[in-house]
Amino acid sequence: MTEVVSIPRPLLKELYEHFGRIEEILATLEELSNKEGLERIEKSLEEYKKKEYTTVRSPDEGLNFALQVGFYTRLHQGIR
């Protein structure tokens, strides 16, 4: 026997939005909890201070840039 529960759409939308935020927090905590993650953060901060970064105007432009520099290939191979 299947039971059905009705959830108002606004509540479902709010739950989904909060889930996204919680997921981001957990990912940050995971990154901070290991040595490699902290090293990546420190390196990124140094690059930011030296203005060694690229700015994109849209997600599509960011994806195209990441593909051009081989980011996804290196990420898949575990190279940073």
Burial of 71 (0-12, 13-18, 19+ CB in 10 A): middle
Q: Please tell me the distance from the alpha carbon of residue 17 to that of residue 10, in angstroms, as a whole number.
A: 11
Report pTM: 0.46
Per-residue pLDDT of the chain (80 residues; tens, 9 = 90+): 788 889 899 999 999 889 988 999 998 888 888 888 888 889 989 999 999 888 889 999 988 888 888 776 655 555 55
pLDDT attached to residue 36: 86
pLDDT attached to residue 45: 92
Contact 54, 48 (CB under 8 A): no
